[in-house]
Amino acid sequence: MAQERTGVATFKGNPITLIGPELKPGDKAPDFTLNKDLLTEVTLADFAGKIKLISVVPSLDTGVCDAQTRRFNEEAANLGDNVVVLTVSVDLPFAQSRWCGATGVDKVVTLSDYKTRSFGTAYGVLIKELQLDMRAIFVVDADDTIRYVEYLQEMTEHPNYEAAIDAVKKLANSAS
């Protein structure tokens, strides 16, 4: 049974329960299985050797998630070839693809946690009451060690974009 964390997050001020551990910088990034489309699954190993900015959103079809994904898509162009930006949500892969097509988002890789919620549970972002992944940011280095984490306390708030981008740039600069 996965760990449950209460008192750490809210949705519109109402307490929600997060399932899974609270990860910290220095922890090994847990493996995951996510869907790129209905049939294609990816794991952490598919991004081996790259710096990974993992942007977790509850659903792309909401205002803050939309803005968060567009922002990281813009930033992705300046982060270099050794960086991959992954957006994880429980939206169906069809919805993710439709959203990307409609918004012109083409530099982030959208991945769906709809099938097993393995990412949500491994990264401590699965919301028990809603079965959505809580907004969070993880920066993982090329050796799969977590270097930056932001778990948002309120689901409807924006993450600290600048801090996440700075963490990626520091890793990218030290690798080059």
Q: Among residues 65, 146, 152, 155, which one is catalytic? A: 65
Distance, in Å, from the CA atom of 64 to the CA atom of 58, rounded to the nearest integer, reads 9
Which residues pair with residue 14 across a beta bridge? 11
Q: Where would I find the beta strands (DSSP E) of 90-175?
A: 108-112, 126-127, 136-140, 146-151
Structure tokens at 159: 């993450």
Any catalytic annotation for residue 65? yes
Task: Report which of 80, 79, 107, 87 is spatially closest to residue 166, judged by C-alpha positions.
Answer: 79
Active site amino acids: 65
